[in-house]
Structure 1
Amino acid sequence: MADTTMIAARGANRRKAGGTRLMFCMAWLVAGVCLLPMLAVALAALTGGTDTIQHLMETVLPRYTMTTLSLVALVATGTFAVGVGAAWLVTMTRFPGVRIFEIALVLPLAFPAYVLAYAYTYVLDHPGIVQSTLRDVTGWGPRDYWFPEIRSVGGAAVMLVLVLYPYVYLLARAAFMQQSASAFLAARALGTSAWSAFFKVSLPMARPAIAGGVLLTVMETIADFGTVAYFSVQTFATGIYTSWFSMADRAGAAQLALCLLGFALFLAIIERVQRGSAKYHQAGKSTVHMPPAELTGWQAVLALVLCIIPVLLGFALPTVILFDMGLSGGQDLLSHRYLGFLRNSVTLAGVAAAVTVFAAICVGFFHRLRPGRSSAAAAYIARLGYAVPGGVIAVGLMVPFAAFDNALDAWMRATFDISTGLLVTGSIWLLVAAYLVRFLAAALGAYEGGQSTVHANMDAAARSLGHTPLGTLRRVHLPLLTPSLLTALLIVFVDVMKELPATLIMRPFNFDTLAVQAYRLASDERLEGAAVPSLVIVAVGLLPVILICRQVGKRR
């Protein structure tokens, strides 16, 4: 009897050890996939020779650097001003409609910046309704007046600010809501004005959260391709695409990608440090809430106008413009061609979302199962992709797999006189791998957020009942984490629907998506036609925004 018990115990231990080893292998396989494009970009850039980089430094590199930094500075300043100002108004003051604006200020997140660019170019460009009306009313000719140029660095910055400020708004609002009133009221009691107390007390206390939001917008800015490409703004993102396709300069594209990768990883490190210290924004007793100030008269009107402007410009007005463009665009969303675009987009987004969430489960559960340096390192590497632009990931995956395909084809020709062609390069699975690297951090964040609610005692109870680690995951964790997993699936699905640079570079031949079709029509100046796929992308993008709005409503 004792021997039977010992044999059973050994078998159970082997199964547990086997489950742990499997999770270890899966987690590090995912981390390796995430690390591969960064290493490949660095290797391709360093082996590209010095002639290419010298040529880039003498020609386009200074221009790309200055334009990218200018765009980053403008977007960071704009998102800080709009996001923090709106968060303070809806959290710390009361005016007519404040409850509506708490939610409405999140709505611009549904718009990709390049879709907003299409809408405003249609209205504000030289042939648009605004300038045409101005010329008709005044009788001026094209050279008789000055009008702000929408296709410029400033125009691109405005588009990005309008769609990215909700990142800062949400984090700043949460920080302001969690602040204690003690320090603010103490400053007021010492004779400090409300504005001075805001700048000297409330804003510094919320600084880590705000800085994290601004850094997120900066990383989205350097990763943007659709807006800057359409506005002909020459940044690193457009330079990589031009070098890869227009000039067929793989070494130049890799070296530009390495420059952008270094900047992105530097920002990721800063964001990580800021997020780690974000808990210090709270001071005093958390139960002493800040009393909101009642605004009346011109102050209430001013607060109302300041909250209306970003919602109007970032959501309401472009939605109306796109509908008007779509009605006159002559594009049939139910045609066989457009149904193909929709099918391709949904297929890519669905497969990528399922694979990415599965990868997030592997990494997240291994970190919980075996907390330590190994699991923490795998989780950290898996999160790096959110800071890497899609164009960099595309180059990093295309270079090694193109070399693999060519080497395999050459070996098969020499050995069996058979051409294998490109097995991996240009396949849907390599594109899914790019989406995995790019969006794994979002899925991992949603999964770990739900996993934190599962008490460790549940794991201990399951293990005491004889469940293996995989059995615990299947029977305990996954049923409890269904809402978090569905949220992660939805976030990745929508992000993939909107992703443009990686899709443009890596998509299979004759496999276009709604985002690619919108970009192609807009590049041909067929903006009315681009409105139809753009509206579908925005409609899908509203799904996670609705989830966010529900959370905002619950935290009033």
Structure 2
Amino acid sequence: MERAKIKRHINGWSLISFVMVILILLPSVEIVSNLIKPVNENWAHIKQYMLKVYIVDSIKLTIAVVLFTVIIGVVSAYFVTFYDFPFRRFFKWALVLPMAIPPYIGAYTYNGLLSYTGIIQTTLRNKFDIAVNQKYFNIMSLKGAIFILTIFLFPYVYLITKSFLEKQSATLVESARLLGKGNIVIFFKVIVPISRVAIVSGATLVALEVLSDYGVVSYFGVQTFTTAIFKTWFSLGDVESSVRIAAILMVGVVFVILFEKFMRGRRKYSYSNTKIKPVSRKRLTGIKKNIVVGFFTIIFLLSFLIPTIQLLYFASLTYKRVLNSSFITMSLNTLTLSIMAAIVITIISLVIANYCRIHEGTLSKIISKITMVGYSIPAAVIAISVILLFVNIDRNLKWFYIMINPNSKTLVLSTSIFMLFFAYVIRFLEVSYQAIESGYEKMGKKFFEASRLLGQNTLKTFIKIDIPMLKPAIISSIVLVFIDIIKELPLTLLLRPFNFNTLATRTFDYAADEMLQEAAVPAIIIILISIVAISFINRVDKE
């Protein structure tokens, strides 16, 4: 009986799932194994003089950004869901657009806007003869990083909270109003408690994005763990110290995840009956209407319209110098790599999700949780662990390379595009898996079971039944992963082969060389691609 049970669980689906789980965990094992190596002078210096700065700045940045994104995201979701006001439909969609602008691009744009030669200071000096105090326009600081990350990451909280509130019954709010409660009391006593899980989920995503960010903190000179990893790796060439910094950052990420579990709590809010009354929006009038419209207008201007107009202006000045044959080749390389990686990651997600659906149990739950590991670990940590892994593989395969070609170089895989591709799989598998798993949940198992009863094997059922029914989820998965890879910076900077650039790395290189106007061209292309992709997902969801 036990042998038959084991045989039933061991098949192509399970083997592929197990192999992928092992590959996802290998880089983390590399990090842990390198911690046992003896410390060097660099680490002693970092530990004594710099580590406290990295910890304090990372904590300050993360807490501040999470706090402000929660305030903006929850308030925006609340008013869009429960109230009717001018341009509500426009703002409901427009508040998603900041997701199309990577925060590092927003950082370059706002610095160009507020700099001494930027349009604001130039206008104040030339048109109004106002003496400008540089202190008030200096965004290159921790406060500036908080501002940038907040206005471009709040859609994470907004989308998740709005999606949750739209599915709630209006009875809760109406009952509170009948009891004589005001709007402020209802918001804090009803809306916030029932939305706690959604709010915490969005806030956790924001925290992970902040801890993983390199573009903004590097450009603004903020001393976080991510900048420390890059500085130690590139400036000092010290792998061991980079690994130790990465390990501390991983501990911080684990703390964030555990804190999320704690904040979710054990409270559950569900309907007491099956009659769910849809939310009826209350029309705002007078000063309240003006305040709400003004609030949304300011958020939209700061998070999307102003930076986009500034980028378009910069691009109009430099596109003739930037758009050449090498730029077109780079753009095609970016699109090809992103599309191929998105497709491969989606195929892997399909296989793992199908196995977990068919074989429900403890093992499948563990496998599904492991797919989340990559997205929870900051990109810089993944990059270092992948480099260590592939260098070890190359060392062990040195005899094989020489046997094939005596003049072959000893580092083959660790200098190829395959290493970057592998890192993308680890990093974005969870994004794809969530989309595919939600598709499987909507579909259920009855069609699968009916196909099996009719004599079709698992593979034929997967191809003929599952794939057609999962089409929306598959498209969403590919597009979501594609958007993330197009915008990805830390992984690509660390793992790209020599002379291989993407739109994101070219934007970063231009900005690092203080060529902000030239950086606008690849930045605009990234934003346009992201907007088209986001619109495509919205269309698929409506169908």
Give the TM-score normalised by the residue count of structure 1.
0.91
Residue 29 (structure 2) pairs with residue 77 (structure 1): no
Q: How many residues align?
A: 540
Looking at structure 1, the residues matched to 366 and 488 of structure 2 have their Cα atoms a distance apart, in angstroms, of 27
How many percent identity over aligned positions?
Answer: 31
> What's the counterpart of residue 348 of structure 2?
359
> What is the aligned partner in structure 1 of residue 333 from structure 2?
344
Instruction: Give the Å deviation of 1:111.
Output: 0.7
Task: Work out whether 1:473 is the aligned partner of 2:457.
Answer: no
Query: For residues 343 and 301 of structure 1, do their structure 2 counterparts lie closer, same or farther at Cα, with a shift above 3 Å needed?
Result: same
Letter in 1 for 2:69: T
User: 2:35 is matched with which residue: 19, 42, 45?
Assistant: 45
Distance 1:252 1:510, change over 3 A: same
- 1:507 paired residue among 485, 496, 504: 496
Give, in whole Å, the separation in 2 of the partners of 1:104 and 1:454: 31
Pair 224,347 (structure 1): closer, same or farther in 2 beyond 3 Å: same
Q: Which residue of 2 aligns with 1:62?
A: 52
Residue segments in structure 2 that go unaligned for 5+ positions in a row: none
Query: For the Cα contact (< 8 Å) 1:122–1:527, is it kept in 2?
Result: yes
* Offset of residue 424 of structure 1: 0.8
Contact 1:179–1:283 at 8 Å: present in 2 too? no
Q: Structure 1 residues 146, 245: CA separation in 2 closer, same or farther (over 3 Å shift)?
A: closer
CA distance in 2, matches of 1:243, 1:128: 33
What are the superposed Cα offsets for residues 282-311 of structure 1, whole Å, 9 maximum, x if unpaired? 677662344322211111111101111111
Quote how far apart the aligned CAs of 1:237 are: 0.9
Asked if the contact 2:401–2:410 (Cα under 8 Å) also holds between the matched residues in 1, the reply is no
Are 1:495 and 2:489 an aligned pair?
no
Following superposition, the deviation at residue 398 of structure 1 comes to 0.3
Tell me the amino acid that sits aligned with residue 321 of structure 1: Q
Q: 2:448 aligns with which of 437, 456, 459?
A: 459
Classify the secondary structure of the residue corresponding to 2:415: coil
Question: Post-superposition shift, 1:359?
Answer: 1.1
Task: Determine helix, strand or coil for the equivalent of 1:495.
Answer: helix
Distance apart, 1:421 and its partner CA: 2.3
Q: Quote how far apart the aligned CAs of 1:71 are.
A: 0.7
CA separation in 1, counterparts of 2:479 and 2:310? 27
Residue 300, structure 1, aligned to residue 289, structure 2: yes
Q: Quick one: distance in 1 between partners of 2:186 and 2:273?
A: 15
1:87-124, Cα deviation, whole Å (9 max, x unpaired): 11111111111121111111111110011111111111
Change (3 A) 1:506 1:146: closer
Q: Give the aligned partner of residue 217 of structure 1.
A: 206
Following TM superposition, by how much is the alpha carbon of 1:458 offset from its aligned partner in structure 2, in angstroms?
1.3
1:158 and 1:260 map into 2 onto residues whose CA distance is 23
Shift of 1:474: 1.4
Structure 2 residue aligned with 1:318: 307
Kept in 1, the 8 Å contact 2:27–2:385? The answer is: yes
Structure 1 position 100 matched with structure 2 position 90: yes
Q: Does 1:435 align with 2:435?
A: no
Match of 1:204 in 2: 193
SS in 2 for 1:46: coil
Structure 1 residue 18 displacement after superposition: 7.9
The Cα offsets for residues 56-76 of structure 1, whole Å up to 9 and x where unpaired, read as 221211111111111111111
2:105–2:523 contact (8 Å) kept in structure 1 = yes
Match of 1:453, SS?
A: helix
Q: Deviations over 1:136-193 (max 9, x none)?
A: 3565666x56414211111111111111111111121122223333333333333322
The 2-side partners of 1:289 and 1:259 are apart by 47
> How far apart in 2 are the matches of 1:415 and 1:432?
24
SS of residue in 2 equivalent to 1:329: helix
Shift of 1:280: 2.7
Q: In 2, are the aligned partners of 1:178 and 1:282 still within 8 Å (CA)?
A: no
CA distance in 1, matches of 2:268, 2:541: 20
In structure 2, relative to structure 1, the CA distance for the partners of 1:483 and 1:175 (3 Å cut) is closer
Contact map agreement 1:162 1:313 (CA 8 A) in 2:
yes
| Cα distance in 1 between the residues matched to 2:77 and 2:192 | 11
Where do 1:218-237 residues align within 5 Å? 218-237=207-226
Q: What is the DSSP-based 3-state SS (H/G/I as helix, E as strand, rest coil) of the residue aligned with 1:467?
A: coil
Contact (CA 8 Å) 1:356, 1:439: kept in 2 or not? yes
Q: What's the counterpart of residue 531 of structure 2?
A: 542
The one-letter amino acid paired with 1:147 is Y
Query: Does residue 530 in structure 1 map to residue 514 in structure 2?
Result: no
Shift of 1:330: 4.3
Cross-structure match for 2:316: 327
Residue 256 of structure 2 is matched in structure 1 by 267
Q: 2:8 & 2:325 partners in 1: Cα distance?
A: 50
Q: Assess, with a 3 A threshold, how the Cα gap between structure 1 residues 153 and 468 changes in structure 2: closer, same or farther.
A: same
Instruction: Select the residue among 82, 99, 109 that pairs with 1:109.
Output: 99
Amino acid of the structure 2 residue aligned with 1:343: L
Aligned to 1:248: 237
User: Paired residue for 2:474?
Assistant: 485
Alignment equivalent of 2:168, drawn from 172, 175, 179: 179
CA deviation vs aligned residue, 1:31-66 (integer Å, no higher than 9, x gap): 112111212112223325376544322121111111
CA distance in 2, matches of 1:285, 1:205: 18
CA contact (8 A) 1:108 1:314 kept: yes
C-alpha distance in 1 between matches for 2:264 and 2:340? 31
Aligned to 1:387: 376
- 8 Å CA contact 2:472–2:540 kept in 1: the answer is no
The CA distance in 2 between the partners of 1:324 and 1:416, in whole Å, is: 53
Q: Show the counterpart of 2:362.
A: 373
Q: What is the distance in 2 between the residues matched to 1:289 and 1:297?
A: 26
Aligned residue number for residue 27 of structure 1: 17
Which region of structure 1 is more displaced relative to structure 2, 403-412 or 226-235? 403-412
Would you say the 8 A contact 1:521–1:527 is kept in 2?
yes
Contact 2:334 2:503 in 1 (8 A): yes
CA contact (8 A) 2:9 2:359 kept: no
Q: Contact 1:351–1:432 at 8 Å: present in 2 too?
A: no
Secondary structure at the aligned position of 1:328 is classed as helix
Contact preservation (8 Å) 1:208, 1:281 = no
Does the Cα contact within 8 Å between 1:353 and 1:493 map onto a contact in 2? Answer: yes
* Partner-residue secondary structure (3-state), 2:501: coil
Q: CA deviation at 1:205?
A: 1.1
Between 194-203 and 498-507, report the one with greater CA deviation.
194-203
Instruction: Single out whichever of 133-142 and 459-468 deviates more from structure 2.
Output: 133-142
The 2-side partners of 1:146 and 1:415 are apart by: 62
| Greater Cα shift, 129-138 or 538-547 | 129-138
